[in-house]
Amino acid sequence: MSKVLVINPILYTAETNQIPQVDSIKDTMIYTLCLGFLRIGHEVTLAAAEDYRPTVKEQYDFPVLWFRTIFHKLFLPRCFPYMPGLHKYLKNHQEYDIIITSEVFATWSYTAARLVPEKTIIWHELAAHNNMLHKLPSKIWYHLVARCLMRRARVVPRSEEAGAFIGQFLPRVEKDPIDHGVDLERFSLCGEREDCFAVVSQLIPRKRIDHTIEAFARFVKMGHFSYRLKVIGTGEEEEALKNLTRRLGMEEKVDFLGKLSHEELLPMVASAKALLVSTEKDNNMVSIVESIALGTPVVTTSVPYNASYIRREKLGIVEDDWSADTLVRIVSENERYVANCLAYRCKISNKACAERFLELAALAF
């Protein structure tokens, strides 16, 4: 049995410096990964930033450590938090066999890579320089800090694109990516699919939900009058998107369902013919992984890093500026795409991800 420490200060995405408060972290990607280690018989501890602690006290399946962040004007908690207590903690706790830390461009990964490089695996997602301050801090970090001071740590990319990017700066980069895993015990498969599509997203400009609605409207007007679009999520664009549906005459066909719990949204995605993604800017999308785990194909732009294996494994359709014709194709060949998703789902379970990390650790350490 191994003792694993997972360091992931940023538990969920904040679009602004005002980090939204949540009632629970149990639906987050990193909590799911930690459960994977627990389910295959290992001890795991999660280290996170205090800024992301839920408003409601929770009982967790494993220890969760909350570290205070400081110097918020320089180290923004939403994207680049600094937790000085982590250094002392790692120096005083040598019992961990493996330390998995998120991102190379991160103060916490630097701390782990410097103090315990022989135990550290950096799980890296970014495939381009961070845009903060015209990319200057990012370029300095990767070219100097990472290249000179973090090179002894092993890096596991979350996508092929991330691997190609970080391989320019660090020598110990694994070839095969490990994507975000899902807890398959929570993902019940649907017997029959309804005439509907699903969107699971923040309703913000970069997600381009307007494009999804417009393509869906054209699809309906092509004769597919039984279909509905279920939009799950909230955001600043909600009213504008509702106005768009009215202008298109789709107010009876598009359901804005707001923010739902996992227990509520998963059956809706499981019964859909496809998850629709029109994003202009994203990394790996957990909603895509969850959709595939439910056997639901994905129609997406090439922007998310998941797009490479969706295309390769035929888990849906990857097209920039996809259209109503794309929706016709995903419907007409739905059984084939669903079968491919069902065959692939075991590879993206949280237990499979945890096992791969442990295999890499055994080879590396």
**pLDDT per residue over 22-39, tens digit each?**
899 998 999 999 999 999
In the chain, the percentage of residues whose pLDDT exceeds 70 is 99
The overall longest dimension of the chain from CA atoms, in Å, is 66
For residue 199, is pLDDT > 70?
Answer: yes
pLDDT for position 91:
95
Cβ neighbours around 69 below 10 Å, total: 20
Residue at token pair 């005439």: 195
Question: Taking the model in full, what pTM does it have?
Answer: 0.85
Cα separation, 249 vs 231, whole angstroms: 16
Q: What's the mean pLDDT in 197-219?
A: 97
Is pLDDT at 3 greater than 60 in this prediction? yes
- pLDDT reported for residue 15: 79
Instruction: Tell me the backbone φ, ψ of residue 264, rounded to 5 degrees.
Output: -85, -40
pLDDT of residue 212: 98
User: How far is 289 from 291, CA to CA, in rounded Å?
Assistant: 5
Read off the DSSP letter of residue 182. B
78/82 Cα distance (integer angstroms): 11
Exposure b/e, 171-203, CB count within 10 A at least 16 = b: ebbbeebbbbbbbbeebeebeebbebbbbbbbb
Please, which pLDDT band fits residue 283 given cuts at 50, 70 and 90?
confident
pLDDT bucket at 365, cuts 50 / 70 / 90: low
Confidence of residue 364 (pLDDT cuts 50, 70, 90): low
SS3 168: coil
Euclidean distance between CA atoms 345 and 355, whole angstroms: 15
Across the chain, mean pLDDT equals 94
Q: What pLDDT is stored for residue 189 in this prediction?
A: 83
Quick one: which of 351, 290, 364, 262 has its CA closest to 44?
A: 351
323/347: higher pLDDT: 323
pLDDT top residue among 240 and 181: 240
The Cα–Cα gap between 257 and 254 comes to 9
pLDDT at 71 over 70: yes
Between residues 133 and 238, the one the model is more confident about: 238
- Across 189-202, average pLDDT: 91
Q: How far apart are CA 216 and CA 331, in angstroms?
A: 12
At residue 252, the pLDDT reads: 96
CA dihedral 233, 37, 305, 279 (to 10 degrees): 0
Span 145-150, average pLDDT = 97
- Close Cβ partners of 29 (under 8 Å, ≥ 6 residues apart): 180, 286
